């Protein structure tokens, strides 16, 4: 798999670049998510959390939690005892903490700085693990997926949302035009970032999806894996068990 970094010319690691990039766009992240996805991302998060309902997870880890939207949706849909959100970017977390406090959920959802590739939890700690639009940003995808598998309880489940590419006409053409011509221009402009929204389509372009991603999940120990394309395949919901 080709490593796509926010700045391919820089010698700093993907992890350092990703952390700095999300720190710098955190103040505009939620607004741009809604604006650039036309609000569709909200429905994807709801769908992912409903997929975990059957397991009624009590303790959930939301990896790459960012500003906490998936953690908040997990609390609304699944009503677990506790959610831990973990992210590399302190700025993203700090916006997330404000949202959680505003909803009076700070006793239920904690937000901690950490690295998905080296999780600060004992084996078998969580009933469910969720990741939305995070795995594509991992420096080492397999290391992150293996760590998540390690801290998942036997019988637990992961739900992973990630962008993918629609294949059929005309969605493929519309998506490509939007992703390559509109999203980078508006995203970089509004976030005042030189590369965050150029990195987004480039990283999606080279990221394994569908069957390829399921093969990687299986090689990292997950069982009963499945992939469900959403909104003409612009996003895919991956599920896996332990």
Ligand X SMILES: C[S@@+](CC[C@H](N)C(=O)[O-])C[C@H]1O[C@@H](n2cnc3c(N)ncnc32)[C@H](O)[C@@H]1O
Q: Which residues contact 35 (CB under 8 A, 6 or more apart)?
A: 186, 190
| Least distance CB 174 / ligand X (angstroms) | 22
Which residue's CB is nearer to ligand X, number 69 or number 127? 69
Minimum distance from residue 168 beta carbon to ligand X (Å): 26
Q: Strands, DSSP E only, in the chain?
A: 59-63, 82-87, 109-113, 126-132, 152-163, 223-230, 235-241
User: In this complex, which beta carbon is closest to ligand X, that of residue 31 or of residue 223?
Assistant: 31
Residue 48 or 227: the one with the smaller Cβ distance to ligand X is 48
**Contact yes or no for 55/157 (Cβ under 8 A):** yes
Of 87 and 127, the one with the shorter C-beta distance to ligand X is 87
Residue 111 has which token pair? Answer: 């937000």
- CA torsion through residues 43, 87, 93, 28, sign: negative
Least gap, CB of 130 to ligand X (angstroms): 8
Cβ neighbors of 148 (< 8 A, separation 6 or more) are 61, 63, 116, 119, 129, 131, 158
Tell me the residue number closest to ligand X, measured at CB. 66
Shortest distance, position 79 Cβ to ligand X, whole Å:
20
State which residue, 155 or 216, has the beta carbon closest to ligand X. Answer: 216
Binding region for ligand X (CB under 6 A): 15, 18-19, 22, 64-66, 69-70, 86-89, 92, 115-117, 132-134, 137-138, 144
Nearest distance from residue 170's CB to ligand X, in Å? 27
């Amino acid at each position: 798999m080709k490593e796509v970094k926010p700045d391919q010319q820089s010698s700093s690691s993907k992890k350092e670049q990703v952390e700095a990039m999300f720190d710098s766009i955190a103040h505009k992240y939620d607004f741009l998510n809604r604006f650039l996805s036309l609000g569709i991302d909200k429905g994807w998060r709801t769908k992912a959390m409903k997929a975990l309902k059957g397991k009624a997870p009590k303790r959930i880890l939301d990896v790459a939690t960012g500003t906490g939207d998936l953690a908040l949706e997990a609390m609304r849909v699944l009503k677990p005892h506790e959610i831990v959100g973990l992210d590399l970017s302190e700025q993203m977390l700090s916006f997330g903490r404000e949202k959680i406090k505003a909803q009076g959920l700070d006793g239920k959802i904690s937000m901690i700085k950490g690295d998905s590739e080296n999780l600060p939890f004992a084996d078998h700690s969580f009933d469910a693990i969720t990741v939305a639009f995070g795995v594509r940003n991992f420096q080492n995808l397999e290391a992150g997926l293996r760590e998540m598998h390690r801290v998942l309880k036997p019988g637990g489940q992961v739900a992973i949302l990630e962008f993918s590419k629609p294949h059929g006409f005309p969605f493929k053409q519309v998506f490509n035009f939007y992703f390559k011509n509109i999203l980078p221009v508006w995203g970089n402009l509004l976030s005042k970032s030189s590369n965050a929204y150029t990195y987004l389509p480039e990283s999606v372009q080279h990221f394994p999806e569908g069957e390829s991603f399921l093969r990687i999940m299986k090689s990292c120990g997950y069982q009963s894996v499945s992939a469900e394309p959403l909104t003409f395949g612009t996003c895919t919901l991956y599920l896996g068990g332990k």
